[in-house]
Each structure stands twice: as C-alpha cells, then as structure tokens.
Amino acid sequence: MPYSDSTSQQIQRPVSNTFIVLSVLAALLLNGLPWEGIWLMLRPDFVAIVLLYWCTYKPQRVGIGLSWAVGIFADVADASLFGQHALAYTLLAFGGVILHRRLQMFDLRQQTTQVFGIFVLTYAVYALVHWQVNGYMVWAFFLGCLTSTLLWAPLSIMLQAMRQMRMDRDRI
C-alpha cells in the first residue's frame, strides 16, 4: 500500500570529520572578522554556536576535549587571555553533551530558549575572567549572548541542510 504522504523522507548523511573540522575553522574565521563600535559588543561567538551544534547532534565525536583545543586556538587568534575561550568552550561543550538528548527532543524555537542558558554561562565566563583580570565587570559581553542565541536557529538549519539527503519512499 503506498504511503499517503507525498513528501519525501529525509535521511541524515553520516558526518565526516572533515566537515566538522571545516565548519569549526569557518567559525574561527568568522570570529576573526574586524568588528568595531557597537557591532563589537553585538558580535556573536560563531565558534560557540558551531561547537554547541556539534556537541548537541554528534556528542560522540565533538566533546569537551575538542572544545578545549578549539578554545586554545581561539585564544591565540583573538589575542585574549590564554585559556579564557578554552574554559568557556569547555563549559559550553559540557552543557551541550549533557543536554544533547533534551535539546534534540525540542523543535528549533524551544531549542533556542534552552540554548540561551548555555550561552549565558559561556558569556558569564568571559565576563568573570575580564573582571578578575581588569577589576571591573563588562556587562556588554552579554549582548553577544543575545545575538549568538538568535543565530542558533539559522545556523542549525544551515548545517542540517548540508547534512540532509532526500530519498524517495518508493525505494524503501
């Protein structure tokens, strides 16, 4: 008996390590764009978004160790305090790996509200490290948290679309 739904089934392609590495490198390059003025405060952390995506959807491959290594690269690329991004990305990966089943259970709108808490924790690490080093708190760090959260849905859709393969139901 033929299936009554006319839409085709969507199957996820297995993700290659090359694709994961290239997406993280692209995010590192986007973080290195020259932002200034108010846009610097609104700058999303593209690496954090990509790492959280992979920790949510492929926690067996991308986890705390890779996030720490990428954080070290981000520290060097950003010329920030050594270990700042590594600490923040490690906590982000921990949240993504621990909550990956919960995040996958929700639709994208509900995921965005869940992801907001993880990004707040990540940006709190940046703010606390800055406070410890410079002696004052920069609340503008949290504006980037909002833009990172707003970019979660489009980036997730883009990475999902790159992984998707359509297959006719007749072949099943």
Q: Going residue by residue through the chain, which has 172 residues, state the pLDDT in tens, using 9 for 90 and above.
A: 333 333 334 566 677 888 899 999 999 999 988 888 888 888 899 999 999 999 999 989 888 999 999 999 998 988 878 888 999 999 999 999 998 888 888 888 999 999 999 999 998 998 898 889 888 887 877 888 999 999 999 999 999 888 775 444 445 5
Architecture of domain 9-171: Orthogonal Bundle (1.10)
For residue 11, the model assigns a pLDDT of: 63
Give the domain ranges of the chain.
9-171
CA distances to 50, 108, 158 from 141, in Å: 19, 24, 26
**Which three-class secondary structure string do you get for the chain?**
CCCCCCCCEEEECCCCHHHHHHHHHHHHHHHCCCCCCHHHHHCCCHHHHHHHHHHHHCCCCCCHHHHHHHHHHHHHHHCCCCCHHHHHHHHHHHHHHHCHHHHHHCCHHHHHHHHHHHHHHHHHHHHHHHHHHHCCCCCCHHHHHHHHHHHHHHHHHHHHHHHEEEECHHHC
Residue 171, pLDDT score: 52
**What pLDDT score does 8 carry?**
38
What pLDDT shows up at residue 24?
95
pLDDT reported for residue 163: 76
Question: pTM score, two decimals?
Answer: 0.84
| CB-based contact 5:166 (threshold 8 Å) | no
